[in-house]
Amino acid sequence: MKKLSIKDKATALKKLKGWKLVKGRNAITKKYKFHDFQSAITWMLHIALYAEKINHHPEWFNVYNNVEVVLSTHDIGGVSNLDIDLAKKMNSTFKKGN
């Protein structure tokens, strides 16, 4: 696994609705807003099970119906294809579940 180049990150982010770079850090972030707390937690559980399966875990913060996510591959100190794949999964699951 290796870090994505600046060009590859930019290309990937163009295809990831709502995701952006984290200032001062080699990571990407997005805020999700759900209908209610139960929807947010159900989505988080679904993503947590997927993340465990691929052994790639997000940093996230939940307050009621809001979930803020930060993705970075800590082993390499930056954004990798694992982060992009997990972001895609989060986006596609969010659309279906909210």
Give me the chain's average pLDDT, please: 94
pLDDT (mean) for 36-55: 96
- pTM of model > 0.75: yes
CB 86 within 8 A of CB 80: no
pLDDT band at 98 (very low <50, low <70, confident <90, very high): confident
Q: Residue 60 falls within a domain, yes or no?
A: yes
Condensed to tens digits (0 to 9), the pLDDT of residues 58-93 reads 999 999 999 999 999 999 999 999 999 999 999 999
Q: Residue 68 falls within a domain, yes or no?
A: yes
Which helix or strand (DSSP H or E) is residue 71 part of? strand 66-71
- pLDDT above 70 (res 96): no
Contacts of 43 (CB under 8 A, 6+ apart): 32, 34, 67, 93, 94, 97, 98
For residue 1, the model assigns a pLDDT of: 83
Which domain, by its residues, includes 79?
6-97
CATH of the domain at 20: 3.30.1360.20
Q: How far apart are CA 4 and CA 65, in angstroms?
A: 31
- The pLDDT > 90 percentage for the chain reads 95
Which helix or strand (DSSP H or E) is residue 46 part of? helix 37-54
pLDDT band at 50 (very low <50, low <70, confident <90, very high): very high
Q: Residue 1 falls within a domain, yes or no?
A: no
Q: Residue 76 falls within a domain, yes or no?
A: yes
Q: Residue 90 falls within a domain, yes or no?
A: yes
User: What residue type is 25 in one-letter code?
Assistant: R
CB 70 within 8 A of CB 28: yes
Question: Based on the structure, what is the number of domains in the chain?
Answer: 1
